[in-house]
């Protein structure tokens, strides 16, 4: 476990300069923000880390899984690029199975980085 230096994290940025994951986080209630931030930090400091916190989704895409105080489930989809974690997409989970559109959006953003 690498407890001294975290893997740097950055937010995916659109051609127009928007950072959708940062915007999503900003809109969350304060207690939910704390949980998501703590969970992402655990991944940065503890990589590689597995379930229940982090799960591979294939093709270089990973999900950070957060159970929020608001009794919802949040997912932050991340990938690696140039030695950094990149927060590609985030959402509140609405069903048991991951929504294919959510995954497709994160995968397309990851491909843009390559």
| Helix, strand, coil in percent for the chain, rounding step 5 | 35, 30, 35
Q: What is the radius of gyration, based on Cα positions, of the chain?
A: 13
Condensed to tens digits (0 to 9), the pLDDT of residues 75-113 reads 999 999 999 999 999 999 988 887 899 999 999 999 999
pTM, to two decimals: 0.94
Go through the domains of the chain in sequence order and give each one's CATH number: 9-113 (3.30.2310)
Instruction: Please give the C-alpha separations between residue 25 and each of 34, 88, 98, in angstroms, as whole numbers.
Output: 10, 12, 19
pLDDT of 99 reads 87
| pLDDT average, residue stretch 3-12 | 89
**CA proximity to 76, closest of 54, 107, 44:** 54
Residue 2 has pLDDT above 50, yes or no: no
pLDDT exceeds cutoff 50 at 37: yes
Cα–Cα distance between 53 and 1 in angstroms, integer? Answer: 15
Which DSSP category does 86 fall into? E
**Residue 77 host element (H or E):** strand 73-81
């Amino acid at each position: 476990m690498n407890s001294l230096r975290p893997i740097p994290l950055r937010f995916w940025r659109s051609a127009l300069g928007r950072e959708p994951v940062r915007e999503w986080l900003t809109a969350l209630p304060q207690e939910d923000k704390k949980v998501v931030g703590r969970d992402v930090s655990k991944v940065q400091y503890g990589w590689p880390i597995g379930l229940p916190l982090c799960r591979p989704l294939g093709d270089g895409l990973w999900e950070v899984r957060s159970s929020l105080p608001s009794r919802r489930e949040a997912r932050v989809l991340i990938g690696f690029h140039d030695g950094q974690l990149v927060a590609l997409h985030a959402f509140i989970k609405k069903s048991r199975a991951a929504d294919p559109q959510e995954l497709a959006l994160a995968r397309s953003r990851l491909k843009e980085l390559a």
